[in-house]
């Protein structure tokens, strides 16, 4: 693999020396490794959570996280975002309108622990805050299985950070024809989806007019975030959990798992992904 020149390495991964062993031989090279830093999400001066995240597309992260966590109901409530680089990490200092939930953070809404890159509810104080019933999504539009396959193929070449490091997840949005429109990457699968949600809202994307594709399992939190954004079809490379299936069913989301070339499983609301089985000759 040819590494990019130092000035060409984007935020999100860095170059580090490594001893590479291959079939009994060692070579000293520079390798690209993903960045993972604490990112504090602060609203009107009050910190809500500290997420371990990749420091890239942070404005999208701030907006998507704020929407999916219910701290704002709509983008106009987020008045400003200031990214502050500190010794300990990065603070996303957000100003929200007085009518936003994020403007009134009480101790019952604060997270006590950092959100690990693989965790969506780390630090949640009460059990009732851990499981959020997602709102129902709209009717959405059906897509073909060919469109799903196209999105899967295109995504393989649309993950520059993962191609360099092999360490990050991606969340992508594709139109009804399966063409990838937006991709966001992060070491945390929840963070990648939050970034995608933020990018979709900034671009004015209709969440019922296509599908979201994620390179991870479909956990409860991924379904909840998709529902909060109104995403009608969520496809995951890996498996769903039982709770994710239940929540997708109640929210009206078409949940697809084990999305691979030539195969996938549809767990809920299959009408948006109609089957056209091949008829065997009699």
Chain centroid to Cα 144, Å, comes to 23
pLDDT at residue number 77: 97
Contact predicate 100/73, CB 8 Å = yes
Residue 62: its H or E element: helix 58-68
CB count in 10 Å sphere of residue 24: 5
pLDDT at residue number 7: 46
Domain boundaries, the chain: 37-130, 145-272
**Within a 13 Å sphere around the CA of 271, how many CA atoms are in the beta-carbon half?**
7
pLDDT at residue number 124: 46
Average pLDDT, rounded, for the chain: 87
Indicate the burial class of 117 (C-beta count within 10 angstroms; 0-12, 13-18, 19 or more): buried
pLDDT at residue number 1: 41
Domain 37-130 listed as CATH 1.10.10.350 = no
Residue from 180, 265, 256 nearest 222 by CA: 256
203 by DSSP, 3-state: which?
A: helix
Active site residues per annotation = 119
208-222 burial string, b = 16+ CB within 10 Å, else e?
Answer: bebbbbbbbbbbbbb
Residue ranges of the chain with per-residue pLDDT less than 50? 1-7, 112-113, 121, 123-128, 279-280, 282
Residue from 269, 272, 273, 115 nearest 194 by CA: 115
How far, in Å, CA of 267 to CA of 20, rounded?
42
Q: What are the DSSP E strand ranges found in the chain?
A: 13-22, 25-34, 37-43, 46-53, 78-85, 90-96, 169-175, 180-186, 210-214, 233-236, 254-260, 263-266
* CATH number at 145-272: 3.40.140.10
- Residue located via tokens 């009206």: 252
pLDDT at residue number 110: 52
How far, in Å, CA of 194 to CA of 65, rounded?
5
pLDDT at residue number 10: 61
């Amino acid at each position: 693999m040819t590494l990019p020149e130092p000035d060409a390495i984007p935020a999100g991964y860095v170059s580090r020396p490594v001893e590479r062993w291959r079939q009994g031989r060692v070579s000293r090279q520079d390798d690209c490794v993903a960045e993972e830093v604490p990112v504090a999400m602060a609203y009107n001066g009050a910190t809500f959570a500290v997420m371990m995240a990749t420091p890239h597309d942070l404005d999208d992260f701030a907006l998507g996280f704020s929407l999916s966590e219910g701290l704002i109901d709509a983008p106009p409530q987020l008045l400003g975002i200031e990214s502050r680089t500190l010794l300990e990490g990065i603070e996303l200092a957000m100003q929200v309108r007085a009518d936003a939930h994020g403007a009134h953070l009480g101790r019952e809404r604060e997270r006590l622990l950092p959100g690990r890159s693989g965790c969506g509810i780390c630090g949640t104080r009460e059990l009732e805050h851990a499981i959020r019933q997602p709102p129902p999504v709209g009717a959405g539009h059906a897509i073909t299985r060919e469109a799903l396959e196209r999105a899967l193929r295109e995504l393989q070449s649309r993950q520059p950070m993962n191609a360099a490091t092999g360490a990050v997840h991606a969340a992508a949005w594709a139109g009804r024809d399966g063409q990838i429109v937006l991709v966001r990457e992060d070491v945390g699968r929840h963070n990648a989806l939050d970034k995608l949600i933020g990018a979709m809202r900034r671009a004015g994307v209709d969440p019922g007019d296509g599908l979201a594709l994620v390179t991870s399992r479909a956990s409860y939190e991924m379904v909840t975030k998709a529902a909060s954004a109104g995403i009608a079809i969520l496809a995951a490379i890996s498996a769903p959990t039982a709770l994710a299936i239940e929540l997708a069913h109640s929210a009206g989301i078409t949940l697809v798992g084990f999305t691979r070339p030539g195969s996938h499983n549809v767990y809920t609301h299959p009408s948006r992904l109609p089957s056209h089985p091949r008829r065997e000759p009699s």
